[in-house]
Structure 1
Amino acid sequence: MQNITEVINIFYMQTLCSGREGRRCALFRFLFQQAQRKRMFGQSHSGGSDSASSPSGGRAISSSVAANTAYIQQLLGSPTDLLIREFGAGPRKHRLVLVSIDGLADKTVLNDDVLGVIQSGDWLQQTSLPDAGEAVLDALHHEVLAINGIERIATMDEAVLNILSGNSALFVEGATQALALSSQGWKSRGVEEPQTEALIRGPREGFTEDMRVNTALLRRRLRDPNLRMDSIQIGRRSKKDVVIAYIQGIVHPGLVKEVKRRIGTIDVDDPEGSGFIEQWIMDSFLSPFPQILNTERPDKTTAALTQGKVAIIVDGTPFTLVLPITIGSLVQSPEDYYTDWIISTLMRILRFIAAFLATFLPALYIALVEYHQGMIPSKLAFSIAGSREGVPFPAVIEASLMEVTLEVLREAGVRLPRPIGQTIGIVGGLVIGEAAVAAGIVSPIMVIVVSITAISSFALPSYAFATSLRIIRFGVMMAAAAFGLYGIVLAYIMINIHIVNLKSFGIPFSTPFAPFFRGDWKDLVVRAPVTLLTRRPQMMQTTDEVRMDTHEGK
């Protein structure tokens, strides 16, 4: 009956498509293809054990191992890296099939802990073992296999997902369930020093692309039984593993709930790394400022967790997301807590000054040279006028040319191999700067201004924050060229209005400046001695506010 229906459908589609009804033809072809796809995956026909559906949804595992392996081969397209090992076990020759992916599964585990144990175990000599496949499956699960990660599965969807995740699926003839065996063993990069967050004093370990290595690094530093790592999968096709880490009893429950809700809205084929998730769940995609902190450092992540924040670990990327953050978080470094509080405070003050110079220094030069020459000291004004003699461009064009050239050199240095990139950045800047001054295109004072601006942006620990200031810098330069110092003041006011209105998962980005939290100023611009940092940040609204027991009043 099914074949007759298919013949009628094909005849009708060919007859209909031979005319001029293009839209109706396309619609019918789409519906016909959908019906074929459903029939292929066993969702539109019934009858027979091979096509039955499980109560939980999806195609149920067949009692025939041949049907199961044929389905997997058909679904995956019979790839060359699909390993199917069929063997018989025991004097009764129980038929078993082990399915895995070459390169994802550890062959040593499969050969020694699965195949070797099954085929050489004493359990095979038990004459009381019945012929039923379910009994053999129970014996393998509870008595034979000594693998830590072992789970019973009932659908082919679960089996295929485990196989594609690096695990293995063991099918037994006559059993309507299978065993998913933990056998992940792909090659991964070892733990190395973070490349984007170098420190003079501090641990040299950084996250890797292996999520389990990353979670182990966190647990090794934070041996708290309340540390929770909730695992979810996102991506319709990639099925990428994501772990949401937080400390229960410290973090605000509403924050965890909101993070899970936003991640649950991701419905794409493949969320490409943590950067995609960061852009998806941030509060405002129109803001140039980063609203989620990304880091390669486990120590920085654990410190954020103890403050009541949430970390998102994504499989396949060494960057962990930390949220929520404020503008003060972007100028703080883990090294601040490894050195004396006086030195740390001076370093933070320098970073705030560097952030201001990286944003406003070229604009101040443009405004003073073009509009407010009287505000410059006489000797300095004569020196600037002498250096600009013969320069054919106004200050705004001069600054724009140098800034764009610097950004191109910076981008070229990042894309090239590291030894060549460093050489291009240094030599290219010197050569182009000297050539531009010799040619009379720019003045020497402009080269100094641009160099100080670039060095100031490099002093910031957050690369994303430094990039944001680079973007804002050009807008401030245009405002200075149009209105002078008044334009800079207006731009500064607009930036502050934007920062005050910006939020990161419900926390105002300008906290603790506004709204004002007096207790949080101990760890903002000034890093107070560690003996005074007795409470967690008030802005996080943690359930446990006490960070350090000082035994006051005892």
Structure 2
Amino acid sequence: MWFLKKKNPYTSLPSQPVESKQKDVLKTSLQQNIQTLKDTLGKSSDIIIREIRIGKEGTIKAGIIYTDGLTDTPSLQNFILETLMLDIKEIDLQKKISPEQNLISVLKDVALTVGEIKEVSTFDVILTSLLSGDTIILIDGYAQGLIISNRQWAERGVTEPTAQTVVRGPREGFTENLRVNTALIRRKLKDPNLWIESKIIGTRTKTNVAIVYINDIANDKIVKEVILRLDKINIDGILESGNIEELIQDSTYTPFSTIYNTERPDVVAAALLEGRIAILVDGTPFVLLVPALFVQFFQSPEDYYERTIVGSLIRILRFIAFSISLLAPALFIAITTFHQSMLPPALLISLAAQREGVPFPAFVEALIMEVTFEILREAGIRMPRSIGTAISIVGAFVIGTAAVEAGLISAMIVIIVSITAITSFVSPSYEMAIAVRVLRFVFMALAASFGLFGIMVGIIALVLHLCSLRSFGIPYMSPIAPFNISDQKDTFIVLPIRKMLTRPHFFNHKNATRQQDSTVKNKKGS
């Protein structure tokens, strides 16, 4: 099958439409509508309900409802209250009403000077909009109301990304505001084919989720599959994009992430141009990208901003660092435990001298140091930033030195663990670094049990597992397995941009040409 289907208790039922969960509609009585809102919202002090009179001689009763802290109060004062209570005070609104209109339509089309205004007739839509920061206007005698979009709340500005830093490249990162994030993408892709579809997920949080893709580039089957999986989510709350990621990913029981996340608009723009789909979640700066490939986690934006030779060298170094971080402790354990004859005599004598008096085997040594370093790393992350780095570095140095002097571990294992720790930070993706940290202990156990034979069996099992993974139906190891020679231009090395004439093959079958061959044009021009 093209797409893998998985059973998930949270995606067993399709999410119900927003208007189907609350069947109560507005009544013609203003007092009855306001009382219903009060009964539903309880004694919430941040919900402001104000009853006013509008029209000539104040003959029409109206209600203004908004959420304090989520609503733009200057806009409410200047463009809504002032308009309703002062500007149209001398106007007989009833005479403005044509046979095809009612008072609600007149206020929407003639009187109010604000941006987005929608008519509403159900309490469920009113409650969702009210708790999102919109202003609600209800009129006595009408079973409809108006939703005025004037949301505003305190938020973090556009700052430099903290998780994915680069030496050369843009310094702007996503924020927790969904509309700011979509605007950052629009700034980079001024294409009418850039489509943004919105959904509300979470029966209680009602989180806004946006699906972003370029219509004439993205694969229609993948777009439909993304929408289908999002529609099947039936859960009470979505607090971060990680909740969405877990509910829509192809495989749960794997240390490797099959959905890529980033907080950089330039990365999202580049992915959209390749045919991927972005999923933006309101309230988080991390954007999901699907499908995700294994090689994608070794790519950094600056690979394409630097010269080709530099970008290719750095890319190769990342793959080397990945191998060292994954296998270095296991190789040390296997060689010193089972295959001492592989070492030069001088090095073997030096290791034997270091291990003289050490009470633990090599596996226990490595395990102690790895666990200790992981604890120090987590402690450094949780501590205040001003002292976290210093504590982790000093702690590792002091503990390692003291352990060697006390004869609990050998000096060589400290060097091995230090190299492993340094290489684990080379990966530009935090998800790949976490996967390596988990698998490192598995390979250490295999090396302690079966030596190099165990490591080889582990590598074969790892390769088979990676080849079995899918990301929205796309092979996780493509374009390596299955092999595609045309996509090797951006796998282990980075070819010049002028040579990247086509988009990735495996998830893009329409509009595959990225650019024309510039070398041919240059030859013709000369």
TM-score, normalising length: structure 1: 0.88
Aligned residues: percent identity? 43
Deviates more, 1:337-346 or 1:118-127: 118-127
2:296 to 329, 332, 338: 329
Mapped partners of 1:463, 1:125: distance in 2: 62
1:134-533 matches, cutoff 5 A: 135-533=102-500
The one-letter code of the counterpart of 1:109 is: S
Relative distance call for 1:55 and 1:77 in structure 2 (3 A) is closer
1:82 is aligned to 2:47: yes
1:535 is aligned to 2:514: no
Q: Is the 8 A contact 1:89 1:124 kept in 2?
A: no
Q: Is the 8 A contact 2:312 2:493 kept in 1?
A: yes
Relative distance call for 1:162 and 1:55 in structure 2 (3 A) is closer
Deviation, structure 1 residue 161: 1.2
Q: Is the 8 A contact 2:238 2:244 kept in 1?
A: yes
Mapped partners of 1:297, 1:363: distance in 2: 35
Deviation, structure 1 residue 421: 1.1
1:95 is aligned to 2:61: yes
Mapped partners of 1:91, 1:271: distance in 2: 47
Relative distance call for 1:378 and 1:400 in structure 2 (3 A) is same
1:72 maps to 37
**Number of aligned residues:** 501
2:86 maps to 120
Deviates more, 1:417-426 or 1:358-367: 417-426
Deviation, structure 1 residue 272: 2.5
SS class of match (1:540): coil
Higher relative contact order (CA closer than 8 Å, sequence separation 6+): 2
* Structure 1 spans left out of the alignment, 5+ residues: 1-53
Mapped partners of 1:286, 1:173: distance in 2: 57
Deviation, structure 1 residue 115: 0.6
SS class of match (1:366): helix
Deviation, structure 1 residue 127: 7.2
Q: Is the 8 A contact 2:56 2:92 kept in 1?
A: no
Deviation, structure 1 residue 57: 6.8
Mapped partners of 2:93, 2:70: distance in 1: 37
Mapped partners of 1:345, 1:243: distance in 2: 34
SS class of match (1:129): helix
Q: Is the 8 A contact 2:275 2:507 kept in 1?
A: yes
Deviates more, 1:459-468 or 1:540-549: 540-549
Q: Is the 8 A contact 2:56 2:93 kept in 1?
A: no
Deviation, structure 1 residue 387: 1.4
Q: Is the 8 A contact 2:55 2:93 kept in 1?
A: no
Cα RMSD between the aligned structures? 1.8
Deviation, structure 1 residue 229: 0.7
Q: Is the 8 A contact 2:93 2:103 kept in 1?
A: no
SS class of match (1:98): strand
Q: Is the 8 A contact 1:132 1:174 kept in 2?
A: no
* Structure 2 spans left out of the alignment, 5+ residues: 1-18
Q: Is the 8 A contact 1:132 1:175 kept in 2?
A: no
Q: Is the 8 A contact 1:123 1:144 kept in 2?
A: no
SS class of match (1:125): coil
Deviation, structure 1 residue 380: 1.4
The superposition leaves residues 337-381 of structure 1 with CA deviations (integer Å, 9 ceiling, x where unpaired) of 110010000001100000001100000000110111111112211
